[in-house]
A = this chain, B = another copy of it.
Amino acid sequence: MSRSRPYHHGDLRAALLESAERTLREKGIASLSLRELARETGVSHAAPGRHFKDKQALLDALALGGYERLARVLEGADEPALPLQPRLTGLARAYLAFAAENTELLTLMYARKHEPGAAERMAAGVDRTVGVFERVIADAQRRGEIVEAAPKRLTLFTGAALHGIAGFAAGGILDPAEALGMTDDLIHHLLHGLRPR
List residues of chain A with CB under 8 Å of any chain B CB.
Answer: 28, 30, 110-113, 126, 144-149, 153-154, 156-165, 167-168, 170-174, 182, 185-186, 189-197
Bound together, the chains give a CA A110 to CA B197 distance in angstroms of: 35
- How many chain copies does the complex carry? 2
In the bound complex, residues from chain B placing their C-beta under 8 Å from that of A111 are 171
B153 touches A159 (CB 8 A): no
Bound CA span A28–B170, Å = 21
Give chain B residues whose Cβ lies under 8 Å from the Cβ of A189.
147, 149, 154, 157, 193
| CB pair A30 B113 closer than 8 Å | yes
Closest to A192 in B: B193
A195 vs B141: C-alpha distance when bound (angstroms): 9
Contact A145 B195 (CB under 8 A): yes
Contacts of A145 in B (CB 8 A): 195-196
Known A-B contacts A182-B153, A193-B193; A168 and B163 likewise in contact (beta carbons under 8 Å) = yes
Shortest distance from the beta carbon of A179 to any chain B beta carbon, whole Å: 9
Q: A190-B193, A191-B193 are in contact. Are A161 and B168 (CB under 8 A)?
A: no
Taking A157-B190, A163-B164, A193-B195 as known contacts, 10 extra A-B pairs with beta carbons closer than 8 A to each other, sorted by chain A number, are: A112-B172, A145-B196, A148-B196, A156-B182, A158-B194, A159-B164, A160-B160, A167-B167, A190-B194, A192-B193
Q: List 17 A-B contacts (CB under 8 A).
A: A110-B170, A110-B171, A112-B171, A112-B172, A144-B196, A146-B194, A147-B192, A147-B194, A148-B196, A153-B182, A154-B189, A157-B194, A159-B164, A163-B167, A163-B168, A164-B164, A191-B195
Interface centre among A158, A190, A195, A197 (most CB of B within 10 A): A195
